[in-house]
Amino acid sequence: MKFDFTGKICAVTGAGAGMGQAISLMLAESGAKAVVMVDLSEKHMAETIDKMKAIGTDYKCVYGDLSQVEFAKKFVEETIETYGTIDVLVNVAGIVQVNSLDTITEADFDRTMAINVKAPMFATQVAARKMVEQGHGSIVVIASTAGIMGVGNRMAYSTSKGALVIMCKSIAAELAGTNVRINCVCPGTVDTPSMEKRFQAMPDPVAGKKAFLAKELNGRIGTSEEIAKTVLFAASDEVDYLNGAALIVDGGMTCCTGKN
């Protein structure tokens, strides 16, 4: 299915790599008028910029720290100031910290919640105001299967992703009747730079990755492009009855207790 985003003004956080990059590029390839790409710095965005230039779609980069609520609001405001509107917002940026109930600090927990929950919430707040005013808009939030079933030693991360699932449902209820939709996508394990770092940090990266993949029903992990397709599906006008949903994209990981 080919999704049509012709003329749409889109904003994507975490656009420098992985899922955020794939989503930004796929929106551009699907006809978006412009894509506003958000990440920490120009260094983080270099590869995405090169690929976006090759596509030829108009783009704007906004750099800053999404742990700061004011920046989460600012990039949406800049999108509206530059293009006069915002049609699609995709909140991708997030962090994963390895910590246990015994070792987690208040600072660790607060930073995870700031980037993973507060940033998308307040970015959505600003975007939704404009979308309601103009009578249309679509918001997608990247949650995780960790927010559905929990993950040991990643308590703060799992808590933050579970919060996003309920946040989207609550906002969908609040925006009912406005023609503004919000949905979340819950990926399983995805082949991103951060996931590769996790493999490389294992005592034996090759054996560790092999053992990890053995647990996957399909014998592999997902790709950023596969998640991007789901995001575009959720954001597109073609599925405008989809609202408040949590779309699980995990190759079947959460459907059962394991392979037969």
> Is residue 59 among the annotated active site residues?
no
Nearest to 53 by CA among 78, 68, 35, 75: 35
Contact 115, 165 (CB under 8 A): no
> Both tokens of residue 183?
């949905």
Tell me which of 63, 83, 157, 241 is the catalytic residue.
157
Nearest to 66 by CA among 124, 105, 19: 124
**Edge-to-edge strand order for the sheet containing 137-142?**
58-63, 34-39, 9-13, 88-91, 137-142, 180-187, 246-249
Whose CA is closest to 137, among 91, 93, 167, 178? 178
Distances from the Cα of 136 to the Cαs of 84, 98, 231, 242, in angstroms?
A: 14, 39, 17, 14
Please tell me the distance from the alpha carbon of residue 70 to that of residue 257, in angstroms, as a whole number.
42
The catalytic residue positions are 157
